[in-house]
Amino acid sequence: MNKIQELYADLKKKHGHPQGQWLLWCKRPKTLREKEWVIIESILTQITNWRNVQLAMDNLKRARSDSLQKIAKLNKAKLSQLIKPAGFYKQKSDYLLRLAKFVLQKGGVKKLEKMPLDKLREELLFLKGIGRETADSILLYALEKPIFTVDEYTRRLLEREKITNETDYEKLREIFEANIRCDWRLYQDFHALIVIHSKSQL
């Protein structure tokens, strides 16, 4: 067993199955509707605590605008107002509109899932407001693709555990993907445990 595998075993032993927000993100199988929620939340959750994301999601659900189809039809001002609690609402409304339109233009979530993975990741990264972490969150948690999501918690944990001091995103992702079984269920569980564990260490 290598260090990455030992890390997983250790986190699994300490925290068991991911709870809270992760009940949806790690749920399987997910309905199409739930996958769209994860996509929406992946934008809303940028530099924002989960409570505020929930307030924004509640607004969207109350307004019956909690689908990519509905969001794509909203104007920027209306969407901004609905997601305001999540912060950075002017940019996030713009990002969400672009993402919703992109997915619809591709023919919906099911069609997205059938695209070649490399091409899909590339196109997501080309969208404004979607960087590597957000793109990979969407690929891993919504579209169930075997792409490990790296974030600051992940980087700091590897540093703390003296596994590596690497800072380059792609290289960090490669460290995980090269050392554990290629399985999106495992990736989801592992990454969620990293975040849960990191927060518990505060």
Residue 187 to residues 156, 158, 181, Cα–Cα distance (Å): 18, 16, 9
Count the site residues for DNA by CB under 7 A.
40
If one asks whether residue 87 binds DNA (CB under 7 A), the answer comes out as yes
Pairwise CA distance, residues 132 & 170, whole Å: 9
Binding status of residue 108 toward DNA by CB under 7 A? no
Q: How many CB atoms lie within 10 A of CB 196?
A: 20
Give me the least distance between CB of 51 and DNA, in Å please: 5
| CB of 43 closer than 8 Å to CB of 129 | yes
Question: Who's near 160: CB < 8 A, 6+ residues apart?
Answer: none
143 binds DNA (CB under 7 A): no
Backbone angles phi, psi at 138, to 5 degrees: -65, -45
Residue 165-184 contact track with DNA, rule CB under 7 A, x = bound: --xx----------------
Q: Least separation, in Å, of the C-beta of 45 and DNA? A: 5
Among 85, 108, 115, 164, binds DNA (CB under 7 A): 85
The nearer residue to DNA, 26 or 72, going by C-beta atoms, is 26
* Closest CA relative to residue 36, chosen from 5, 60, 4, 2: 60
Stretch that binds DNA, among 43-51, 71-79, 99-107, 178-186 (CB under 7 A): 43-51
Q: What is the largest CA-CA distance in the chain?
A: 52
Contact residues toward DNA (CB under 7 A) are 21-22, 25, 45-52, 55, 84-85, 87-92, 127-135, 137, 141, 149, 151-153, 167-168, 192, 195, 199
